[in-house]
Amino acid sequence: MKIKPIAAALLTLTSLSSIAATYSITPLPVSDKAKSTFANSIDNSGTMLVTTSNEYNPPIDIERLEQTNFFTANESTIESEEDIKNGIFSDVDYTLIVFYLTSQNAFTLKKQNIAQYNSYSTDLVEANLIPGFDNYVEKFQNYSKSVNTIARDSVEGNFIVGYSQSPFEDIEYTDESGEVVTYTVNDTYRRAFVQVGSETTALLPEDTLANGISEAYAVNNIFQAAGYSSTLFSDEVRSSVKKCSDDETRSDLPEEVCIYNLVTSDTYKNNASKRATIWQLTANGEVVARETFPLTFEPENNKFAWENRILDINNNGIAVGWSHTGEAVSILYPESQVKSFILETDATYFANGETKSFLTDKQDISSRSVAINDAGWITGTVFRAPNEIARERFFIHNIETNETHYPEGFFVNAGVIPLSINNNNVVVGKADIEASNERNRETHAFMYNIDADNFVDLNQLTSCDTNYTLVEAVDINDNNEIIANARMRANDTYFTGNDLKDEDGNKVAIDKIVAVKLTPIENGQVESCEAKEEQKYERAGASNTLISLLGLSALFVLRRRKPF
């Protein structure tokens, strides 16, 4: 849907010449793989990374399924128990199985694990799975699809970084009562990786206790992968790991399950010093050096509460992200009656072994850098509260000139979240389009040209008759090609990929988020579209029907390319 174009002066071809006059929209070839797809990044070769959620047709281990209470719990709903046991699935039965295997219940560790997220690379022609640390399973003739993998950034389509998990494995254990129990667990919470060709290499943290924690968010042309990693775990965590290895102190569980329970707990995640990290790699993905960066202050207490992270790195080796300041600040969010206390963060850049904050405006409550280009322009978000209510705003800062600007969005005090900047000084992201009091407002994808000081709704640069509403521009390359998330009306589906139908045999239409590519049209013309009322996204209500459950599975939270 379109809204009226902004002032004609803003949309002149002269002011938009550096970003192209119009864009075509092409859905990425992954819609047949999952119920939901989310854009991650696009590099200068045009290779795009995308995350899928609720993937169609995950492999089902019938033998493991029979060891659970699935058939008893779903006795009244299953269409054919015999067919299921013979590996034959109806749309309804397959969907029930997937819901059961992905739900949290008493059998959570005693059933097959199915990943929530998978990642693919695509050039609009093919979509190739990025397996991370997943393993190939002979009986499935496929990867296990049990490992969450999110690929975040790439160079020339063949050098990919992100994070993954270790494979889930079946562990047989005879408990104290003599019963043989099979658990399905893994031993790594989150680990950064680089994939070069078909080879995947782990990017290890400094402290690898219980395999440690690491994530990679970005990679540059000189093969520096950047993110964060664990540098030190607390004595409490070390004691817990030791107890897991001791048959006398461990509860009636196998050591592998004890470790799994530990690494997925808040105790493990919240009692680790996590520091911004750069891994220097070779062209083959071999790690030759690792550098971690300090906080902007020296903690005197609660040393495990403070961390910093890198979210992007340019081709000069200058990285950006955020660092805790050691302080807590109070923020009044929209729709809230009382202020919330959060750990304050400063937008920072990382260079020459130092962590430097740079925003000096006293109106800035808490800030984070999200992207940097080779000219030293940094963009990010900052909380500001001109009317006491705080929303994230948009800033740009230049390292060389030390100048900082806070561009307005579509209206005064609009929330604006930048997500990427290219070497043409063009920023993309998402911004509020409605001036409501709600905390989560409707957003449109935006483009901001630093040199021309133009803030443009990307929906106004596409065809008037498009079926897509661009809600978030996630990344832009130096060819001004953009990968984005768009909302469209589509048929809901079972987990087989077939269209869901109601009791009368009619297809069920829903609002759906899909990843798309925006391509500049040479010599294109900006179309003037008639005003249309923007339809609010309708969130599904809860009930116990299969149709409503599928609707709930399609609910989305738009993810930033570089989540905080």
CB environment 225-258: b (16+ within 10 A), e (fewer): bbbbbbbbbbeebeebbeebeeeeebeebbbbbb
pLDDT of residue 339: 84
C-alpha distances in Å from residue 212, one per residue of 230, 260, 496: 6, 12, 36
The DSSP letter of residue 304 is G
Amino acid at 381: T
Alpha-carbon span 231 to 502, nearest angstrom: 53
The amino acid sitting at 179 is E
> What pLDDT, on a 0 to 100 scale, did the predictor assign at position 388?
73
State the helix-helix crossing angle for 546-553 and 91-102, rounded to 10 degrees.
Answer: 60
What residue ranges of the chain have pLDDT lower than 50? 1-21, 532-564
36, 512 Cβ separation under 8 angstroms: yes
Specify whether the CB–CB gap between 146 and 113 falls below 8 A. yes
| Rounded-to-integer distance, Cα 127 and Cα 48, Å | 9
pLDDT at 411: 87
- Residue 285, sorted as left (phi over 0), alpha (psi -120 to 50) or beta, turns out to be left
* β-strand pairing of 469-476 with 482-491: antiparallel
Q: Closest Cα partner for 35 from 476, 563, 497?
A: 497
Q: Please give the span between the terminal C-alpha atoms of the chain, in angstroms, as a whole number.
A: 30
Cα→Cα distances 344→70, 123, 326, 336, 349, Å: 46, 40, 7, 19, 16
The SS3 call for residue 317 is coil
Lookup result for tokens 């395999």: 211
Buried b (16+ CB within 10 A) or exposed e, 143-182: bbbbbbbbbbbbbebebbbbbbbbbbeebeeeeeeeeebe
Phi, psi of 120 (to 5 degrees): -135, 150
Distance of CA 263 to the CA centre of its chain: 21
pLDDT at 389: 74
**From CA 454, how far away is CA 11, in angstroms rounded?**
9
- The contacts of residue 445 (CB under 8 Å, 6+ apart) are 428, 429, 430, 457, 458, 459, 470, 471, 472, 473, 482, 484, 485
pLDDT of residue 531: 53
Number of CB atoms found within 10 A of residue 16's CB: 20
Report pLDDT for 301.
78
Tokens representing residue 113 in the block: 């694990």
